[in-house]
Amino acid sequence: MPDPHGDVARFRAYMAAFNRHDYGELVDYYDPNILLVIGNGTELRGRQAIVDFYRNVNDATTRTIEVLDAFSDGVMLAAELQSEFLALRDAPDFTSGPMARGDRLYLNSFAYYDIGSDRRFVRIRSAVFRREWRRAASGQPE
Amino acid sequence: MSRPPNRRDVIAGGGALLAMGPALARAEVPMQPGTRPWFEAYIAAFNAHDYPRFSAYYAPNVRFFGQAATLEGAQAVVEFYRRVHARIDENVELLSFVSGAPSRVAAEIRTTLIAREDWPDFPTGALLRGQRRQSINFAMYDIADGRFTRIRSARFQRLPNA
């Protein structure tokens, strides 16, 4: 039975787990056959592929996500997210562009989460609305 | 500019609907701001180039952050689309809709552009006459008093030219 309010509460708990890098808890929110599609064209299928991807991202950077808004109709949840990436070391191959240690990248993005019958996410898609770099060397936004 | 349709309009038209028969009356839905039928009516008016009707969804000081322009004010948005539609056939298709009514809705929209003439400096890339371009965009609409106060669009995918 659709539970829009419950979906939003679960989504916020999911994001809290994400920010803690609690991968063990994270996978429980994903359908085993989940599809993640990021606006840059990256597609990942399955829980493990997603966790491996985020482990890799979080190896060179820390990513903190703030939920600016989230609402659900019981079938799909829409969210506006503010992500901050902080480079812990030089990351020349970072997915959004090279980062030097101390650089920060802020992404404002819109995301959709398709919700399965067991309330797990079956598909996640996101698109970047605004992107802002703050380089450690200059301290100024780009 | 006229105002967007609301629940009162539908109720006012209810007598005529009932006269047509219960099946049609059941098909009618309240046009409450932030609902899917209300938003679909906006999309239909946009695709019909019904400027008075679709601009009625805009607050006078609406802020518009589209793929091809950043604008402020309902009049500026309408003028922008009049200029675009003079040179491009544009169709938008609602793929997904999530209501955060009454203050916000999210829409997944497929936009199809077909250039009626060359437009070398079109903001999202040069277009040649007859060229077709499609994209899928995630849009957020902030709503106050039944009108859009802010529209923001994020590119999800540009589809291969057909």
Cα dihedral value A121, A122, A128, A129, nearest 10: -70
pTM: 0.87
Q: Which two tokens stand for residue A77?
A: 């949840």
Answer yes or no: CATH 3.40.50.1360 is held by domain B31-159.
no
Q: What does the alpha-carbon distance between residue B59 and residue B82 come to, in Å, rounded to a whole number?
A: 18
Count of beta carbons in the 10 Å neighbourhood of residue B88: 20
- DSSP-derived letter for residue A99 is B
B65 touches A at CB < 8 Å: yes
Task: Tell me the per-residue pLDDT of B126-138, one tens digit each, with 9 for 90 and over.
Answer: 999 999 999 999 9
Write down the mean pLDDT value for chain A: 92
Three-state DSSP at A19 gives: helix
Chain B neighbors of A39, CB-CB under 8 A: 154-157
Higher-scoring residue by pLDDT: B20, B95: B95
Domain boundaries, chain A: 4-92+99-134
Q: Are the C-beta atoms of residues B106 and B138 closer than 8 Å to each other?
A: yes
Contacting B residues, span 17-46, partner chain A, CB-CB under 8 Å: none
ipTM entry:
0.91
Q: What CATH class is the domain A4-92+99-134?
A: alpha beta
Task: Tell me the per-residue pLDDT of B139-157, one tens digit each, with 9 for 90 and over.
Answer: 999 999 999 999 999 999 9
| Tens of pLDDT, residue by residue, chain A (142 residues) | 788 899 999 999 999 999 999 999 999 999 999 999 987 788 999 999 999 988 887 788 888 999 999 999 999 999 999 999 999 999 898 888 899 999 999 999 999 999 999 999 999 999 999 999 999 988 777 7
The arrangement of strands across the sheet holding A61-72 comes to A43-45, A30-38, A121-134, A104-115, A76-87, A61-72
Count of beta carbons in the 10 Å neighbourhood of residue B50: 12
- Termini Cα distance of chain A: 46
Q: Give how far B20 is from chain A: nearest CA, Å.
A: 32
